[in-house]
Amino acid sequence: MFPAPSPPVADRMTAAFGEATRLHGATGVPRVWGHEGRTLSGPAGDRWLRLVCAPAGKGCGKLWEGPAESRALPAAIRRPRLLSVANWTADHHHYRAELYEHAGSAVSPTPVLASLPELPNYWWGELLDSLNALSAVRTERIAVREDYIRRAVPQFTGHSVNAIEWRTAHGDVHWSNVTGPSLKLLDWEGWGAAPLGYDATCLYLHSLHVPDVAHRVWKELADVLDSPASRVGQLVACAEILQAAPRVDFYGELADAVRRHLATLGGL
């Protein structure tokens, strides 16, 4: 999803991926880099191996624990099953290797959709059911902090924030975190409380380069997105993309479309 990091980081993570396959008794090929080489993932036989790292001596935090804690979520939320976890420390870093059942291919190799995907009608029902089931979960985890919301939304969108209606969210719903033709939601690092409409808006904004898909996302998730209570969630999703636009190319290319969506939010 992201480009390979600098050679020292790439070499260290590739070696750690080899250790991860040994610990899990599997053979695997690393293929997918996370942001700045923090994660490295790839197939391991008929399963999927995800390696995550954090500097030793620093708290690993909610992102470290999110996938393991997601195992307690209701079965109605479609996600790959986490089979086992291995932890170790080396090279002044903590490592965690998560072995999953193979969930199939992501709809897009990058978060922002570039072409029309072939998704059956039942996929949209699976998406709606999963997000609805997740929104009803009670959790102490936080996906989007309120202090960030009240600071970033005015700064990056020019809009104000009043009352926030909270729901439990995946926290990173985009087109490389969903599989097809059968839906699985991937990457459960950051799930937790977020403003109503946040997940739905994230998927919608990441669809804007393909208007037919953006229209379909809005149509399928209209019960949330047409609600005035979703305004804060929509503003937060816009603010995050606009904040990232100067340093992430695909968000820079999306920024104008996000600003056009922002212009529609005054009436919500």
pLDDT digits (tens, 9 = 90+) for 106-135: 999 999 999 999 999 999 999 999 999 999
Q: Which residue, 238, 246, 204, is CA-closest to 224?
A: 204
pLDDT of residue 1 exceeding 80: no
**Vertex 266, ends 175 and 166: CA angle to 5°?**
55
**Vertex 115, ends 111 and 121: CA angle to 5°?**
90
In SS3 terms, the chain reads as: CECCCCHHHHHHHHHHHHHHHHHCCCCECCCEECHHHCEEEEEECCEEEEEEEEECCCCCHHHHHHHHHHHHCCCCCCCCCEEEEEEEEECCEEEEEEEEECCCCECCCCCCCCCCCCCCHHHHHHHHHHHHHHHCCCCCCECCCHHHHHHHHHHHHCCCCCCCCEEEECCCCCCCCEECCCCCECCCCCCEEEECCHHHHHHHHCCCCCHHHHHHHHHHCHHHHCCHHHHHHHHHHHHHHHHHCCCCHHHHHHHHHHHHHHCCHHHC
The pLDDT assigned to 58 comes to: 75
Model confidence over 134-162: pLDDT tens digits? 999 999 999 999 999 999 999 999 999 99
pLDDT of residue 267 exceeding 60: no
Q: How far lies 224's CA from each of 30, 136, 165, 188, in Å? A: 38, 13, 12, 22
Strand order, beta sheet including 47-55: 32-33, 39-44, 47-55, 93-101, 82-90
Q: What does the pLDDT average to over 14-24?
A: 93
Q: Which residue type does 119 have? A: L
pLDDT tier, 268 (very low <50, low <70, confident <90, very high otherwise): low
Tokens coding 172:
């990173």
- Mean pLDDT score across all residues of the chain: 94
When mean pLDDT is compared across 32-41, 60-69, 151-160, 170-179, the lowest value belongs to 60-69
Q: What does the pLDDT average to over 3-16?
A: 92
